[in-house]
Structure 1
C-alpha cells in the first residue's frame, strides 16, 4: 500500500485533520498515513511549496501527497492530480505544484472529475481523499480526470538578477521554528552570478559579507572560548535545501528571538545581494 502524506494549513485545534484521516481509513483500512505538516500559514502557497519540495523526495516512489492549502474549487482553482518524479500530488491548481517542480517536467496531469463529486467547503475530504484512495488501490489518473495543461505559474516568487548582473533581488519565503529566515535565492544562482566576487547581503539595516555552509562555521574553534563568536551572532548560510538562509547562531524564537524578530523580517520582505 502506497504511503499517503498530508500537508495542510488546518492546524490541530479543529476536526479537519481527524476527519481526513478517518475518511482515508474508511476507504483504505490498511492505509499508511504520514503528516508532513498541518501548520502551514493559512493560504501561504510559498510556505507550503517550500515544505513539500524539501520533504517529498524522502518518501518512496509512488507515494501520494494530499495538499490541503487554498483547496476550494473555483474556475481559477481547479482540482488536479499530478504524477511527477514518480510521486503523486493531489491538490488545487494554486501554484504550489509549479513551485515544487520548477525544474522537473510532470509525467501526467489531470483535472479531477469524480462521479457524484461534492462541490463543498471541504474538498480535501470530499474529493482529494477519494482521488488518493483510487491511486493507492492501483488506479490510473485517466479514470479520475481529464488531461490538463494549465498549471498556474507564480513567476513573482522567483529571485531576479538586477543591476546588469551585479545584484540579486530575492525575498523571504519561509521562517522556520527557530526564527531562521529562508530566502528564495538559491546557492546555484549565487555561485553563477557571483562568480567568486566579493558581495554584501542586505537585510533591513544589516550587511552580511560571508555565507557559511553550516551554522557553527561562524565559530573559530581554534580561538579561546572567551574570544570566539558566541550564540546570538548574525550569520548567513546555504541551508540543506540549497537556499540562502539568514540566522542567529543558536537562537531561540521563544526567548531571545530569532533572525525574523530581531531583524524585523517577514514573509515576502526583500533581500538583496550586491556583487563588487
Structure 2
C-alpha cells in the first residue's frame, strides 16, 4: 500500500485539501494519505523546506511527498518529480528541497511535461496527483518529464560567517506551534566556528550565553517547585533537528505568550552569535 504525504499552505478553511485527497482516492483506491502540514505560511518556501526536511525521513522508503507551496506553473517555476534518499518528491522548482538536497544528492530529477492535461489553475490537483498515481503504478519518472541535472537553490539559506571567524549571522526560518523561534544556524556550524569559545547569542534586545540540549535542562529540578524559575524562562537550545532554537519554557502563544511574541521576532529576522576572539581549549 503506497504512502502519499501532503504538505501545503492551503489551510483548512477552503476545499483544497479535501479536493486533492479525493483526486488521489479516485486514482488509487488502496493507499494511505498522511497530512504533514497544511499550515505553512502562504508561499513561504523556507518554512516548507524546514518542515519537509524534518518529516520525510520518518516515512518508509518509496513514499511519495506532494508539496503544494508556491506551486503555480510559470516560466520561472517549473514542476519537478525527484527521487532522493529513496523517496519521491513532487513540487515546484523553487528551492523548496534545498535543505535536503544540500546534504543528499538527488538520484534523479525530471522536469514534468504532462501539462497538456491541466484543466484548472490548481496544479497540485491536476498535475501532482497524476504524477503520484503514475509512480504508484510503477511508472518511471522519465515517462512524465525530461531529466535535468539540478534543482534551484534557496538564496541565503546558509548563515553567514565573517572573515574573522568570530561571528555567525543567521535568521529565523521557522516558528513552531509553541511560538518557539528556529534559526538556520545548525549545531554543526556552531561547533565548527565556535571551537569551544564563549559566545553571546543576540536577537533584537535578547541575549543568551548558554545553549541547552533540552527544554527541561534549563530548569533546576533540585529546587522546590515554588522556587524554580520555570514560567517565562528564556532559553536557547539545539532542537531535535539540530538547529538553534530560542524558546520560552512551556510557552503558550494563546495565553502567556511565546518566544516569537515576547522577543518580537518574525520570519527572516536576524539572529547573531558573537564569539570571543581567543579560543579556550579544555585541558
**Same fold, TM-score > 0.5, yes or no:** yes
With normalisation by structure 1, the TM-score equals 0.97
In the TM superposition, what whole-angstrom CA distance separates every residue of 1:227-260 from its partner, at most 9, and x where no partner exists?
3222211100000000000000111000011000
Cα distance, 1:206 vs structure 2: 1.1
Alignment pair present for 1:235 and 2:212:
no
Give secondary structure in 2 for the equivalent of 1:165. Answer: coil
Specify the alignment match of 2:13 in structure 1: 13
Cα distance, 1:197 vs structure 2: 0.5
Specify the alignment match of 1:206 in structure 2: 206
Cα distance, 1:150 vs structure 2: 4.3
Counterpart-to-counterpart distance in 2, 1:172 and 1:57: 23
Specify the alignment match of 1:79 in structure 2: 79
Specify the alignment match of 2:105 in structure 1: 105
Specify the alignment match of 2:222 in structure 1: 222
With normalisation by structure 2, the TM-score equals 0.95
Cα distance, 1:225 vs structure 2: 3.0
Range with bigger deviation, 94-103 or 121-130: 94-103
Question: Residues 141, 168 of structure 1: CA spacing in aligned structure 2 closer, same or farther, 3 A cutoff?
Answer: same
Question: Residues 242, 53 of structure 1: CA spacing in aligned structure 2 closer, same or farther, 3 A cutoff?
Answer: same
Cα distance, 1:149 vs structure 2: 2.3
Q: Superposition RMSD on alpha carbons, in Å?
A: 1.2
Alignment pair present for 1:137 and 2:137:
yes
In the TM superposition, what whole-angstrom CA distance separates every residue of 1:48-87 from its partner, at most 9, and x where no partner exists?
0111100000000000000000001111110000000000
Question: Residues 20, 223 of structure 1: CA spacing in aligned structure 2 closer, same or farther, 3 A cutoff?
Answer: same
Question: Do the aligned partners of 1:73 and 1:119 also contact (CA within 8 Å) in 2?
Answer: no
Query: Structure 2 regions of 5+ residues with no counterpart?
Result: 277-283
The correspondence of residues 1-276 of structure 1 with structure 2, limited to 5 A, is 1-114=1-114, 116-118=116-118, 120-276=120-276
Query: Structure 1 regions of 5+ residues with no counterpart?
Result: none
Question: Residues 115, 232 of structure 1: CA spacing in aligned structure 2 closer, same or farther, 3 A cutoff?
Answer: closer
Question: Do the aligned partners of 1:4 and 1:33 also contact (CA within 8 Å) in 2?
Answer: yes
Question: Do the aligned partners of 2:81 and 2:110 also contact (CA within 8 Å) in 1?
Answer: yes
Cα distance, 1:163 vs structure 2: 4.8
